[in-house]
A and B are shown apart, each in its own frame.
Chain A
Amino acid sequence: MAVKYKLLKAIDISGLSFLSPVVRLVTGEEPAKQVREIGRFIVVPVVAFLVFLWLWSVLAPKHKTKAGEVPTPTVVWDAAGGIWRFHERESAKESAYQLTGPDREEKLTAARARLGELDALEAGAKEQLDAAEASSKERFDAIVAPSKAAHEQAQATARQSRRDRTAALREKASAAASSPDERSALLREMRAADATAEVEKAKVDALKDAYAEAQEVAFPQVKSARNALTRLAEERQFLVKYIDMLSDNSREAKVAVAKQKLDEATAAYDSAAPDADLYKLGGAVLKRQELLATTEASQYAKPWTLPKQIVRSLLCVFTGFLLASVIAIPIGILCGLSPTFMAATTPFVALFKPVSPLVWLPIIMIIVGGFMPDPENHWLVVAFGKVPFIKDYKIDPMFLSSAITVALCSLWATLVNTALGVASVDKDHMNVARVLRLGFADRLLKIVIPTALPLIFAGLRISLGVGWMVLVAAEILSTSEGIGKFVNDMYTNGSSQSFAQMFVVVFIVGIIGMLLDRIMVVFQRLVSFDTAQAAI
């Protein structure tokens, strides 16, 4: 029982109230009521989502775009898998590059074995594709052949009739009548012939389109067989590269080569005749030493994959959020404490709150750029470059500009809420403070801030939500590595695969935004002394 109530309390604090009927049902409390609640709060949303998926899969293929069909849920799911495979393979290559000794040998053997298996698999897939194509050939021909024939015939007829008309007109023209009436009649006939030709051409074009459309008729088995084959081809490509990273191109191999060259240079230097150019030989030794050091420290140049971009986006949004909180909470407290300060701040809030991130970003990029004429060696970038986890995420002026834009757009909600929370301190509580003769700091820390905390957190929650929305836009515009950059890349790519990957991003951004919001709800509930105050 105690477990049950602890669980229910945890559910309540995390705001996942739809789970509480499940817990109650499992513990046998009013089953009929719980089933009803589950129906309403779990089954109905799930059904609604399924209806949405169905509508999507039906409607999407109806709209043709330059980037291909609008992807259906299945295609988007496959695209998500593709993104993940890309990430895994790049990570595998990265770790392969650094492997040494028996580990490397082991992986190499496994990879080679897999490569060996691929031949058979590919042959199988090819066979299946052929079979699928053969089985669908008849049906394909049945659909395509008539339209092909119609098109070809119309084309031939049109060509023939055109030729006939031209010949007839030429004949008439050569027997040119001398009277002006007959000449103008000839012109009229020629014009009429042109018009007829136009009409015929339009007909042929229409048939051609119909033929092209018929050719696009998709046969699911053929499509999936082709996809399977493509996937195997991709794997082969990866394995070849992977094996290269494990063998000839591994760091170990490169280091060995560099070492050998260094040894040679050293030997040449040591055994050189006294009259040889020792300066030149010594220089070669030094250069080889340096080369060896760089090789030893080298890393696989891993491209940005979506998971890494997501982490960078999160880093960026939290940097901006932190910045916003550090600015907004103290100012908000001052506003709440002093009506004069509030009056001074109001115009800025009113004026800057509605400004779009797309206006802030370029301005901030220029300003930040001004502070960092040489970003690589700027102290801030250098400092971030030394922090263990963060250094992998390339903190550059673009990152800082995006973070500052996030801060500028999101700080208002926290500021206004903090001011409101501080201003709404209970007069009786202040009277208690006066009777106790609490000093300013004690009043602030023991009365004012605890009172304002639920509202401050409500503001922070809104800020984080706004910040997350702003960030993706900022990244698209600034092409700072992150989710926004991924979308931008996919947009400029413009293949049907990248179109589907943009849909994947929609869901990823949505899910992350939802999780961030949930986290803030939990914080908000934990600081709320009055449970009614923390509405979801």
Chain B
Amino acid sequence: MSVITPFPARMPYLSLEDVSIGFGPARNRVNVLENVNLSVARNEFVAVIGFSGAGKSTLVSLLAGLEKPTSGKVTMDGRDVTRPGPERGVMFQNYSLLPWLSVSGNIELAAKQVFPEKSRAELREHVDRYIEMVHLTPAREKKPHELSGGMRQRVSLARTLSMQPDVLLLDEPLSALDALTRAVLQDEILQIWEREKKTVVLITNDVDEAILMADRIIPLTIGPQATLAEAFPVTLERPRDRRTLTENPEYQHLKTEITTYLVGLNREARANRGSKIVGMPDVAPKEFRAPSKVSGVGRKLQA
């Protein structure tokens, strides 16, 4: 007798099994994530949504292999993930471009490492293809500090894609951008995804973004000891058009549902905190700058 699952045809491609991770000394360890289970099918687009500080970035680090779980197992395509590698391309929130390299230099660094067998001409063609894909050809030789935030994130996307990873891990790639730029980039990422068909895990704090892009939305509960909650499947037809989407009753329903769930999480967390105030360690932040003349700032913070 077979177990009936929502996605019977799909085998888990990337998965977390009972994963916990904590920081600090063994005796006094606080688990950031606890008993996290996640399975992502091949070519699935999963969005993990959560409040800031819930441990979303830690989740990406685990999937990427940048962090090792305290307990549990991370697997990809049936094999344990023990270290980071180009088959899981990460797009970082703060771009992480090398400021001394140009746009093409940044992408070339990645491409050269992943495809060492390519000749110089092939490499150049490869790099140019991905620069073209994110519409940055005119800025090919610009340095990152000469680019806007949106352009930098495009470079980061092109760099990640140029490694031709099997899995794309997007760690809040768009949350530092303004709303207009964000919309443009969302569309670009979606177009590329539909063309290249990759497995994607998108970390976000934006419900609209999640619904627009993902097949499945998984909320992360509020930390510490955060874990993944029940998934919301998004069955909206693709390609999704952001202009008509807001009129769609299914979209409206889903958005209300997810938002209500998240607000509920928040309320619950606050109620928990009310009974047990977590003591803050008695430390003062280090001041590295010379004392500023603006003395009001400190007072405002205390109030």
Contact = CB atoms under 8 A, between A and B. Distances in A.
B64 to A, nearest CB: 6
Nearest to B96: A428
A530 B113 contact: no
Interface in B87-104: 88-90, 92, 94, 96, 98-101
A429 B100 CA distance: 12
7 contacts: A429-B98, A431-B66, A431-B92, A431-B96, A434-B83, A436-B110, A437-B113
Given A435-B88, A437-B84, A446-B98, 15 more contacts: A426-B96, A428-B92, A431-B92, A432-B96, A432-B98, A435-B64, A435-B84, A435-B89, A435-B90, A437-B83, A438-B113, A446-B109, A529-B99, A529-B100, A529-B145
- Size band of the interface chain B makes with A: 20 to 34
B222 to A, nearest CB: 25
Given A437-B84, A438-B113, A442-B113, A529 B143 contact: yes
Contacts of B109: 436, 446
Contacts of A437: 83-86, 113
A529 B113 CA distance: 23
Contacts of A530: 99, 145
B98 A436 contact: no
A447 interface: yes
Given A447-B98, A530-B99, A436 B92 contact: no
A436 B96 contact: no
A450 B113 contact: no
Contacts of B98: 429, 432, 446-447, 450
A415 B131 CA distance: 39
A437 B113 CA distance: 8
Interface in A515-536: 529-531
Contacts of A428: 92, 94, 96
B163 interface: yes
Contact of A436 (B99, B101, B143, B163): B163
A450 B100 contact: yes
Given A447-B98, A530-B145, A431 B110 contact: no
Interface in A407-451: 426, 428-429, 431-432, 434-438, 442, 446-447, 450
B114 interface: yes
A392 B83 CA distance: 60
Nearest to B94: A428
A529 B92 CA distance: 20
Nearest to A438: B113
Closest 9 pairs between A and B when the two form their complex, measured CB to CB: A428-B96, A529-B99, A529-B100, A434-B84, A450-B100, A435-B84, A436-B113, A432-B96, A435-B90
A429 B96 contact: yes
Nearest to A446: B109
Contacts of A446: 98, 109
Nearest to B61: A431
Interface of A: 426, 428-429, 431-432, 434-438, 442, 446-447, 450, 453, 529-531
A106 B89 CA distance: 80
Contacts of A447: 98
A434 B88 CA distance: 11
A66 B238 CA distance: 98
Contacts of B90: 431, 435
A469 to B, nearest CB: 27
Contacts of A438: 113
B86 A436 contact: yes
Nearest to A434: B84
Contacts of B88: 435
A535 to B, nearest CB: 14
B186 to A, nearest CB: 23
A450 B85 CA distance: 23
A428 to B, nearest CB: 4
B111 to A, nearest CB: 10
Interface centre among A426, A453, A529 (most CB of B within 10 A): A529
Nearest to A527: B100
Contacts of A431: 66, 84, 90, 92, 96
A447 to B, nearest CB: 7
A368 to B, nearest CB: 40
B61 to A, nearest CB: 8
Contacts of B85: 435, 437
Contacts of B84: 431, 434-435, 437
B66 A436 contact: no
A251 B297 CA distance: 82
Contacts of B113: 436-438, 442
A442 B116 CA distance: 13
A436 B90 CA distance: 10
A366 B86 CA distance: 58
